[in-house]
A and B are shown apart, each in its own frame.
Chain A
Amino acid sequence: MTGTTDKLLVTRTLEGERNAFGELVDRYQKVVYNVAYRVVGNETDAEDVAQTVFLKVYENLATYNPRYQFFSWLYRIAVNEAVNAKKRVRKSVELTEDAILTQSTPLDGAMAVDVENQIGAAMMSLTPENRAILILRHYQEFTYRDIAYIMDLTEQKVKSRLYSARQRLGKILIQKGLKTEL
Chain B
Amino acid sequence: MNEQHLNLIQAEIDGLNSDSESAQVRSLIEENSELRASFDELNAAKLAIESLVEKEPPPTLRASIMNAIPERETEHTPVAETTSWWAGITSIVTSPKPVSLAYAFSLGLIVTFVVSTVLMPPASSTNTDQFLGSIGAVNLSGFETIAEFAIEEEDEEDEREGSVKVHRNASLIVIEFTWDSGRPVTATITYDEEYLDYTGYTGTNVAEESSNLTTTTEDGEVTMSSDGPFRHFVTLTVRDGYEGNDEMNFGVTSGGRSLLSKSLFVRK
Contacts and interface: CB of A to CB of B under 8 A. Distances in A.
A165 B65 contact: no
B179 to A, nearest CB: 18
A163 B215 contact: no
Interface in B57-75: 57-58, 61-62, 64-66, 68-69, 71-74
The contact size tier of chain A is: 35 or more
Interface of A: 13-16, 18, 21-22, 25-26, 29-30, 33-34, 37-38, 43, 47, 50-51, 54-56, 58-60, 62-68, 73, 76-77, 80, 84, 115-116, 119-120, 122-123, 134-135, 137-139, 152-154, 159, 162-163, 165-167, 169-171, 173-174, 178-179, 182
Contacts of A116: 51-53
Given A18-B72, A67-B137, A138-B49, 14 more contacts: A22-B62, A30-B56, A47-B57, A63-B139, A63-B202, A64-B202, A65-B233, A80-B198, A84-B193, A119-B52, A120-B52, A159-B10, A166-B46, A174-B40
A84 B50 contact: no
Interface residues of B, number: 62
A50 B47 CA distance: 26
A68 B61 contact: no
B109 interface: no
B48 A122 contact: yes
A99 B214 CA distance: 38
A137 B139 CA distance: 32
Given A14-B139, A16-B72, A77-B200, A51 B49 contact: no
A139 B216 contact: no
B62 A25 contact: yes
Contacts of B24: none
Interface of B: 6-7, 10, 13-14, 38, 40-58, 61-62, 64-66, 68-69, 71-74, 76, 136-142, 172, 174, 193, 197-204, 214-217, 233, 235, 237
A18 B52 contact: no
Contacts of B137: 64-67
Contact of A119 (B42, B49, B235): B49
A160 to B, nearest CB: 9
